[in-house]
């Protein structure tokens, strides 16, 4: 009956306090048959940028959906509460940049509203748990069939808050790329699309990070290099990434999200 497959839910709440299931309860209290899928609730506290990455990665596989995303260091301040529509999905959360990368991969924002319909909130509205009191009830309404215009006042999508773009700077024989993500395995994802790097299987690349200089083989998969070896590869998001076969590249290179990795590819490619 719904135009959405499910409500996809992401937060930085963690799973230990019951905050996530409280929101589930609010949603199923409004839409009893709601199907809720948990994207992740392990976003590091207050880290909207990391939340945006995880949401954007999973959005194409969950679309069409109501996305409910709450990583909200400014809860209770004057940051706006918003819902934005893409061609097939809607996204609900704070206006702090969390939602837009996902909206972008779904084709871009087609319209947006500020959530100002207090009669739709859980009341009294707390000052610190808008996930429960504002965002979950609104997401449930949208899942239940309400239109965007039913839950708020139209605002200009151009005025929505955006997170800074990750740094990528080309240099003479390669590129300086920011580490945009480090996953559960310690694989290091860089802010550069794989094709843009122009390397081929079997090439050798030199990378430079704060901890030193490393020679890295270009390969298709982790096992392209011996156990413990470094490999530069196109990851499952089609981005350039560095892994260690059977280990953690983040640990071996001693890098964190936000670090800059200098890749020197020019000379070794022999072009």
- The residue within the footprint of its own copies, chosen from 2, 46, 110, 173 (CB under 8 A), is 46
- Residue 194 as a binder of its own copies (CB under 8 A): the answer is no
Using the minimum distance from each CB to its own copies, give the nearer residue, 232 or 262: 232
List, as one string, the DSSP characters of 129-168: -HIIIIIHHHHHHHHTT--HHHHSEEE-GGGS--PPPPPE
133, 140, 194, 221 from 33: Cα distances, Å: 20, 11, 42, 42
The burial of 159, by beta-carbon neighbours within 10 Å (0-12 exposed, 13-18 middle, 19 or more buried), is given as exposed
- The residue within the footprint of its own copies, chosen from 147, 169, 236, 256 (CB under 8 A), is 236
Contact 8, 66 (CB under 8 A): yes
- The residue within the footprint of its own copies, chosen from 4, 7, 8, 199 (CB under 8 A), is 8
The minimum distance between CB 268 and its own copies, in angstroms, equals 21
The minimum distance between CB 20 and its own copies, in angstroms, equals 8
Site residues for its own copies, 99-158, by CB under 8 A, read: 126-129, 132-133
- The residue within the footprint of its own copies, chosen from 106, 225, 234, 260 (CB under 8 A), is 234
- The residue within the footprint of its own copies, chosen from 29, 107, 228, 258 (CB under 8 A), is 29
- Residue 74 as a binder of its own copies (CB under 8 A): the answer is yes
First and final C-alpha spacing in the chain: 57
- The residue within the footprint of its own copies, chosen from 7, 31, 39, 242 (CB under 8 A), is 39
- The residue within the footprint of its own copies, chosen from 7, 48, 58, 261 (CB under 8 A), is 58
Burial 180-194 (b: 16+ CB within 10 A, else e): bbbbeebbbbbbbeb
Residue 238's region, left for phi above 0, alpha for psi from -120 to 50, else beta, is left
Peptide bond into 64 cis (omega under 30): yes
Number of amino acids touching its own copies (CB under 8 A): 61
- Residue 75 as a binder of its own copies (CB under 8 A): the answer is yes
Q: Which two tokens stand for residue 29?
A: 């209290």
Contact 46, 105 (CB under 8 A): no
Using the minimum distance from each CB to its own copies, give the nearer residue, 78 or 156: 78
H-type alpha helices, 15-47: 19-30
Q: Which two tokens stand for residue 244?
A: 């260690």
Q: Which positions touch its own copies (CB under 8 A)?
A: 5-6, 8, 10, 12-19, 21-22, 24-26, 28-29, 32, 37-43, 45-46, 54-55, 57-58, 61-62, 73-77, 126-129, 132-133, 181, 183-185, 220-224, 233-236, 243, 246
């Amino acid at each position: 009956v719904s135009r959405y497959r499910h409500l996809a839910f992401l937060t930085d709440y963690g799973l230990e306090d019951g905050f996530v299931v409280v929101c589930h309860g609010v949603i199923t209290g409004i839409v009893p048959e709601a199907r809720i899928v948990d994207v992740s609730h392990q976003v590091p506290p207050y880290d909207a940028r990391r939340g945006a990455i995880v949401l954007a990665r999973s959005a194409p596989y969950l679309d069409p959906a109501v996305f409910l995303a709450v990583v909200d260091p400014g809860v209770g301040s004057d940051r706006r509460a918003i819902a934005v529509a893409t061609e097939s999905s809607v996204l609900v959360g704070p206006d702090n940049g969390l939602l837009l990368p996902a909206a972008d991969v779904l084709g871009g924002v087609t319209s947006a509203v500020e959530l100002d319909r207090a009669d739709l909130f859980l009341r009294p509205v707390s000052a610190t748990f808008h996930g429960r009191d504002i965002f979950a009830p609104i997401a449930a309404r949208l899942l239940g069939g309400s239109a965007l215009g039913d839950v708020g006042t139209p605002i200009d999508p151009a005025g929505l808050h955006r997170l800074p773009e990750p740094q990528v700077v080309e240099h003479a024989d390669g590129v300086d790329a920011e580490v945009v993500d480090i996953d559960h395995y310690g694989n290091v994802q860089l802010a550069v699309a794989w094709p843009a790097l122009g390397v081929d299987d079997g090439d050798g690349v030199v990378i430079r990070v704060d901890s030193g200089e490393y020679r890295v083989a270009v390969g298709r998969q982790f096992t392209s290099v011996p156990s413990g070896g470094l490999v530069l590869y196109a990851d499952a998001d089609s981005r350039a990434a560095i892994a260690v076969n059977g280990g953690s590249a983040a640990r071996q290179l001693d890098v964190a999200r936000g670090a800059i990795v200098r890749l020197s590819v020019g000379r070794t490619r022999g072009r």
